[in-house]
Amino acid sequence: MATLVTFHAHPDDETIACGGVMRAAADAGHRVVLVVATGGEHGEIVPDVLAPGQTLGERRYDETMDAARILGVARTEFLGYVDSGMVGTETNAAPGAFAGADVEEAAQKLAVILREEAADVLTVYDERGGYGHPDHVQVHHVGMRAGEIAGVPRVHQATTNREEMRRLIVAAAESGLMGAGDGPSEADVAGMGTPEAQLTTRVDVTPWIAAKRDAMRAHSSQISPDSFFLALPDEAFAMAFGTEWFVHVGAAPGPPWETDLFADQRAE
């Protein structure tokens, strides 16, 4: 069996980006290790969700541990950086913010865990960090460097399929799940994810979609029951979140796609 280390910027990112492959790996007998760069202290918060005296960082730590149990995680670590907030906010430059961290220093911290775990597979984010959040972009830089330092044999950049996103938006409008003009604009989509022609790995996680949705529910300070994520009918949720896409560093793009983070197995 192998060890998967999956590196993320904030609590709940792990579930949205890689929840399916994490649960699938655990069910296959692999060891799953979650590393989170920040405490998510500047996340947008669901109203009235905090207990008296509770900070958002404390709440999100507990939510992460709950989600990790649902996803079969054997070890969860936080690197201890502060959430930098959305792009262009004053918190980007605050002391301890992950976006301003020294890449080499942060990569060495992550590399310690990679070496301790003798990681076979590491997931990070694509060079845009998915959608441009400063902490997500930093995950790319820090994660890629840490994988190099520790000599991880397989590094996968978690991303979204830009063309598939366009197809899903059209399908949602045609089915009445989304009104005309709702959802991301074309400009938004063009700045997200990775073009389909550059992708290497397509993992069908629909067999683990219930666990992925339950892990989203665990992040209740960020994802309310009436949010887009949880309000979708089951079939639509599986359509939106049942495939997880990656760029396997050093591998040729598909199709055919790799279908497993642990082996060079391509689906025709």
pLDDT in tens, 134-150: 999 999 999 999 999 99
- pLDDT greater than 70 at residue 266: no
- For the chain, the first-to-last Cα distance in angstroms comes to 26
pLDDT at 93: 82
Q: Model confidence over 82-111: pLDDT tens digits? A: 999 888 888 888 888 999 999 999 999 999
Tell me how far apart the alpha carbons of residues 34 and 245 are, in angstroms, rounded to a whole number.
18
The stretch 2-6 carries a mean pLDDT of 98
Q: Which of 65, 57, 61, 140 is nearest to 99 (CA)?
A: 140
pLDDT at 164: 84
User: Domain 3-161+195-267 adopts which CATH fold?
Assistant: Rossmann fold (3.40.50)
Q: What are the boundaries of each domain within the chain?
A: 3-161+195-267
Indicate the burial class of 127 (C-beta count within 10 angstroms; 0-12, 13-18, 19 or more).
middle
Which of the residue ranges 170-179, 215-224, 253-262 would you say has the lowest mean pLDDT? 170-179
Between 201 and 173, residue with greater pLDDT: 201
Q: Model confidence over 194-228: pLDDT tens digits? A: 999 999 999 999 999 999 999 999 999 999 998 87
pLDDT at 10: 98
- pLDDT greater than 80 at residue 268: no
Q: Model confidence over 48-82: pLDDT tens digits? A: 999 999 999 999 999 999 999 999 999 999 999 99
Query: Would you state the torsion angle of the CA atoms of residues 150, 103, 134, 151, taken in this order, to the nearest 10 degrees?
Result: -10
pLDDT at 33: 99
- pLDDT greater than 70 at residue 35: yes
pLDDT at 111: 98
pLDDT at 236: 87
Mean pLDDT of the chain: 91
pLDDT band (50, 70, 90) for residue 254? confident
Tell me how far apart the alpha carbons of residues 152 and 3 are, in angstroms, rounded to a whole number.
10
Residue 124 has φ and ψ, to the nearest 5°, of -130, -155
Which of the residue ranges 112-126, 186-200, 201-215, 231-245 would you say has the lowest mean pLDDT? 186-200
pLDDT at 88: 82
